[in-house]
Homo-oligomer: A and B are copies of this chain.
Amino acid sequence: MSSVIYPKVALIGLGLIAGSMAHGMRRAGLAETISGYARSAETRAIAAEIGLVDEVCQSAAEACTDADLVVLAVPVGVMGKVAAEIAPALKPGAVVTDVGSVKQSVIADVAPHLPEGVHFIPGHPLAGTEHSGPRSGFAELFDNKWCILVAVEGSDQAEVEKLSRFWEALGSNVDVMDPAHHDLVLAVTSHAPHLIAYTMVGVADDLRRVTDSEVIKYSAAGFRDFTRIAASDPTMWRDVFLTNKAATLEILGRFTEELFALQRAIRTEDGEHLHDYFTRTRAIRRGIIDAGQDTDAPDFGRFKAKSDT
């Protein structure tokens, strides 16, 4: 019994997401051939050394030749450039998708380059870790996480369903959403939290009266939780903020407003306001755990992780 959905899959970019897709496709037997390309010669060499994909190519266009599915897994700021490079190599009927964290700008950058007869179905798997590079991927990354596919004008419904089956076979749940709503939802669940974490870590690093060594030693009191997402790939995140500017600034505006209200409650010693607020926020974590989107183990299961090693 073959589970092949797209016989040849081309991965453009060979970082955490593409690498995890390669491992996941092999786990589920989803492709006959996986080709791959990365701009960096070092990344290509590592990918070849560890056998991440079947064919490491010397150009994006070469990787896309004869591919049934092309996955753009590069920072959102260069999606348009890559689309222009691969366009002449795409075979008629091929599906082009991406894994970028922002959808409106990727659609605007990529769609104009793609030839007639190629199906463009933007996507975004909501999964990741703070690690990056060709060695960081693993097959389980998408298990029980959500992948959002975005309907664009003229999307072929049958092709959207086929790509959904592909992501489900990688372990994901799939939702379909319009691009503007995607960008707003992600501003809340990902982009604003990342910027806030980066900011907090930057502030701690920059204080004169508390040393970096103190920040590090005493980080278990809460701060260290912020450092994980603030260790994410700088290029990827620069591009996310520049391309999802409006939604991110909107949510940060709401955040600042609320932060000022809480600062005011501290200053005026309004303990009831604080207590009510802190009680309300407990419920949403319960919801996340019940939905299988986080572990209930204390401290994210860090103790368990440690005792295993």
Q: Which A residues form the contact surface with B (CB < 8 A)?
A: 77, 101, 126-131, 136, 138, 140, 145-146, 148, 173, 175, 184-186, 188-207, 209-210, 212, 214-232, 234-235, 237-239, 241-242, 245, 248-249, 251-252, 254-256, 258-259, 262-263, 266-267, 269, 271, 274-275, 277-288, 291, 293-295, 297-309
Contact = CB atoms under 8 A, between A and B. Distances in A.
B238 A274 contact: yes
Majority DSSP secondary structure for residues of A touching B: helix
15 contacts: A129-B298, A129-B299, A146-B218, A188-B223, A189-B218, A192-B203, A196-B200, A198-B277, A200-B255, A205-B281, A227-B284, A237-B274, A238-B275, A249-B266, A301-B302
Contacts of A251: 203
A221 B189 contact: yes
Given A242-B269, A269-B242, A274-B241, A280 B221 contact: no
Contacts of A127: 220-221
Given A129-B299, A189-B204, A287 B225 contact: no
Copies in the complex: 2
Nearest to A142: B220
B230 A285 contact: yes
B256 A259 contact: yes
Contacts of A238: 271, 274-275, 278
A145 B284 CA distance: 28
Contacts of A216: 284, 287-288, 291, 293
B299 A203 contact: no
Contacts of A140: 303, 307
B242 A274 contact: yes
A202 B258 contact: yes
A218 to B, nearest CB: 4
A259 B254 CA distance: 13
A129 B88 CA distance: 54
B228 A209 contact: no
Contacts of A252: 259, 263
Given A216-B288, A254-B207, A242 B271 contact: yes
Nearest to A278: B234
Contact of A262 (B195, B207, B307): B195
**Of residues A221, A255, A302, which shows the largest number of chain B Cβ atoms within 10 Å of its Cβ?**
A221
B146 A231 contact: no
A302 B306 contact: no
A1 B248 CA distance: 61
Given A216-B291, A220-B294, A304-B308, A285 B227 contact: yes
Contact of A298 (B136, B212, B259): B136
Contact of A224 (B207, B237, B293): B293
B298 A300 contact: no
A222 B194 contact: yes
Given A298-B129, A301-B305, A146 B201 contact: no
